[in-house]
Amino acid sequence: MKPQIEESWYEVLAGEFEQPYFAALKSFLVEEKSKYAVYPPGALIFNAFDRTPFRSVKVVLLGQDPYHGKGQAHGLCFSVPDGVKPPPSLMNIFKEIQDDLDITPSLSGNLERWTAQGVFLLNATLTVRAATAGSHQNKGWEQFTDKVIRSLSEQREHLVFMLWGNYARAKKSLIDAQKHLILEAAHPSPYSAYSGFFGCRHFSKANEYLQQWGVERVDWSV
C-alpha cells in the first residue's frame, strides 16, 4: 500500500516501501499502537517530507527521536506545535540563533516557517512510544532515514547538513563532503550545549554557504 507521503519524496523512496524491513516496521507499529500511545499521530509521521519536497531542501537538520510527551511531536525534529512550551534543547537553539544573528527568540516552538524555506527537519527515528525515549529505535526507521540522507547527498548539490551530537555526527559517512557543507557541533541539550553547541554559528555559516552558491538565505526567525 502506498504511504501518505509527498509525491516527490515517494518517487525517490518508492523502493524502500517495498522492502521486507519496511513491512516489518509497519507490523511493529500496528502492534505498538494496539498497546500504547505512539507519537506523532499517524498523519504527521511524514510531516517533514510533506512540508519540504525533495527539490526544495536547502538545509538538513537531523534529530534522533520525536518528543515523547503528549502533544509535543508533530513530525518535525526539535519543533513543537503552537501552544506547546518549547523544550530546553529548542530554547538553546533559539539562544544560539540570537547570539549568531541577533534574532529575538520566539515564544513559539513551531518551526514550520523554516520548513517552508527548505529546512528539512528530519528525525532518524520517525515514531516513539509515549513517555519512552528511544523505544522505536532499531526497528527499521534508521534504515529508511539513512536512505533519505544518502539520496539527498547523491541527487542534490550544495546542501547544508547540520549534525548536532554524536548520534547525528555518526551519519556523516552518508554525506558527500565534496558536494555539500557539513556542520558539526555538540547537541543543544542542556547537558551538552556548553560543550560546543553555543558559539557554533551554524545558522550564519549555513546562510553564507547558500548565498555563495546563489541559493536564497534562510530567515531563521520563527
Give the residue numbers annotated as catalytic, written as ranges: 65
CA triple 132-88-189, angle to 5 deg: 75
188 preceded by cis ω (within 30°)? no
Cα–Cα distance measured from residue 59 to residue 78, given in angstroms and rounded to the nearest whole number: 14
Cell numbers describing residue 51: 512540508
Cα–Cα distance measured from residue 75 to residue 77, given in angstroms and rounded to the nearest whole number: 7
Cα–Cα distance measured from residue 180 to residue 159, given in angstroms and rounded to the nearest whole number: 5
- Is the separation of the CB atoms in 115 and 18 below 8 Å? no
Report the chain's C-alpha Rg in angstroms: 17
Q: E strands of the chain, at which residues?
A: 38-39, 59-63, 119-123, 128-129, 160-164, 181-185
Cell numbers describing residue 110: 513551531
